[in-house]
Amino acid sequence: MPYDPQRDLAPLTLLFQATFVPWVGGASRFRGIAELLDAARRTSAAVSYASLGNGHPSQVAIETVADAAGVRLLHVPFKDAGALFAAVAGGEVDLTAFSVNTVAGLAASGRLRPLAVAARSRLVSHPQLPTLAEAGALAVEMHPWAALVTVAGTAPPLLQQLPRDIVATLESPDVRQRARDVGFELTPSAPQAVLDRMYADASQVAPLVDEGRLVPF
């Protein structure tokens, strides 16, 4: 990127987080995440996964699970989500990872099937889905998130007022309900929490880059 997000942006507040779910095609040979990882252990690159390109959260999520399990999967990057979901639904690629709301239509039609939830606990909206730990994988958490920021050097009075106004909006019952309806958990925060999340994610991803699991652009 032509900028350093930790240097050139001024944080305002965390906005929301979602939870990733590993998805396979409705007719997939894999009935669970443990079975899929066992296949990858037996033969390197025997299991393929789709993402929206190098460094996309969908790739980071699956490589984090694969790293925890000590396996290697074949990465198949796509330029658009439609082609990606069609490939997984049709069995051309074994696996992908997105939040429930992203693939709601395909899941409802049975074209995609969830394997587990990459979280500490089950989703309130889908209590039938086991967590990764319950499904036989290591307890990995993957929560794609968003924050609101402005540019570094913004006037201090604005940096004080904007977070207060935004957080007040996020905490309104109507906004919270709308977020829940589309599968997001609102996470209003102090500005420092944005920086903390950036540094935590950078620390988590760095070993994946060092191991060659994630390839820099």
Going along the chain from its start, the domains and CATH numbers come out as: 5-15+144-204 (3.40.190.150), 22-115 (3.40.190.10)
Report residue 112's pLDDT band, with 50, 70 and 90 as the boundaries: very high
> Where is average pLDDT lowest: 26-35, 62-71, 107-116, 208-217?
208-217
Burial environment of residue 148 by CB neighbours within 10 A (0 to 12, 13 to 18, 19 or more): middle
Report residue 217's pLDDT band, with 50, 70 and 90 as the boundaries: low
Other CB atoms within 10 A of residue 141 CB = 15
Identify the CA nearest to 208 among candidates 72, 18, 84: 72
* pLDDT tens profile 157-179: 999 999 999 999 999 999 999 88
Q: What is the pTM of this model?
A: 0.87
| Mean pLDDT (whole number) for 142-167 | 95
Residue recorded with tokens 């939040």: 99
